[in-house]
Structures are given as C-alpha cells and as structure tokens.
Amino acid sequence: MEAMHPDVDRVLFSKEDIADMVKRMGAQISKDYEGKDLVLIAVLRGAVVFMGDLMRAIDCPLAIDFMAVSSYGDGAKSSGIVRIVKDLDIDIKGRDVLIVEDILDSGLTLKYLMKNLSSRHPASLEVATFLWKDVEGRTTAIDPKYVGTHCPDEFVVGYGLDFAERYRNLPYVGVLKPEVYA
Ligand code: XMP
Ligand code: MG
C-alpha cells in the first residue's frame, strides 16, 4: 500500500481496490452498451480521474463530454440548486448517455442534471457513480445503474475528490481527518 497523506485518517479504498471496481464497471458497461451510441458525460471536476480510468475500461465505441455545475459553494452540503457553469459541446439527442460521477451523496445535484439532460431527448440516460454515500434514514434522489462501491457518511478525498480543491491527486480514497476541515 502507498504511503498515506498526513491529513488522511484512514484509507477506505486502495489503488488496487479502485482498479478492480473500475474494471468490473467497465466490463458491465461494455456489455450493456454494445452496438449503442454511447456518450460518457463527466461532471467536473471531481469525476475527471474516474472518467479517465472508466473510459479505458470500456471496449465499445464512445464519445466523451464534460459539464461543470456549481452547487456546493464552500464544500459542505448540497442545496440541490445547481448552476451550469460549463455546458456540453455535443448534441446528445438520440444518443445513449451515461453520466459519470465521482460521488453520489444526497443525489440532488444529479437529479437536477438528469432532468436537464432528459429535456434534450437522449435515447437513454443512466448514471455511473464511483462512490455512493450511505446515509441512514435517507433515500437518495436518484438510482444509479452502475456503482463502484458504497462509502460511509464521512468526508472522503482522493481519486478526484477534493477538500477545498486539494487531495484530488491521491491515488486512493481516504477519510479526511476532522481537524483538517474543522
Ligand atoms: P449531492 O448531495 O448533490 O452531492 O449528491 C454530490 C456532490 O457533492 C460533493 N461531495 C463530496 N465531495 N467528498 C468530496 O470531495 C465528499 O465526501 C463529498 N460528498 C459530497 C461532490 O462534489 C459530489 O459531486
Ligand atoms: Mg467537489
């Protein structure tokens, strides 16, 4: 296992764990989208690392595009009020769209995005999320078709996920020490 960053309390998913999950998701997506017109849409910036790995684990033809939304402000809680900061460059009408997300928490961000994207009439619209945060007594606003793994209700960083734009480059997913964001 790689050396741990001093701000990280513990590693949840190692580089090797992540590689296995991505491989499994890529194989399933390749099977499901064979012969289809797949477009992967990643939500900037957190999903960039996952997107880079996932697209290489899929062996059917595909296109990629990116969207940037802002909903978090200072990085603590989702409001569900989303502003599109960067829209798609391509037209998704009639295409098979798969949204690629780093982490699904309340799902409010994705719920908004799915509503927005479905108004553009894709042939299909699904979600692949690397992490799905389990929160007791709460239902998530959306139901992702592909999930890398569930993760506990703690603030996680690495593999694209940040705190105040830091830690995105960690090759593993870890729990941030509370004193770092307190
Ligand atoms: P919702 O609640 O709308 O939020 O599903 C999803 C977005 O919230 C961010 N998020 C996190 N980012 N560590 C992070 O680095 C976390 O533990 C975390 N939880 C939520 C993330 O940007 C995601 O797209
Ligand atoms: Mg973020």
> Whose Cα sits closest to atom 21 in ligand 1?
103
ipTM, 2 dp: 0.91
Q: Residue 121: what pLDDT? A: 98
Instruction: Return the pLDDT at 25.
Output: 98
Give the residue numbers marked as catalytic: 105
- pLDDT value for 11: 98
Q: Is the pLDDT of residue 73 over 60?
A: no
CATH fold group of domain 15-156:
Rossmann fold (3.40.50)
Cα 172 to middle of ligand 1, angstroms:
16
For residue 162 and ligand 1, the question of a CB distance below 6 A is answered with yes
Mutate to test the pocket of ligand 1, among 5, 9, 45, 72 (most ligand atoms within 8 A of CB): 72
List the single range of 26-35, 37-46, 130-139, 142-151 with lowest mean pLDDT.
130-139
Q: Provide the token pair at 59.
A: 């062996």
Residue 71 confidence (pLDDT): 67
Domain boundaries defined on the chain: 15-156
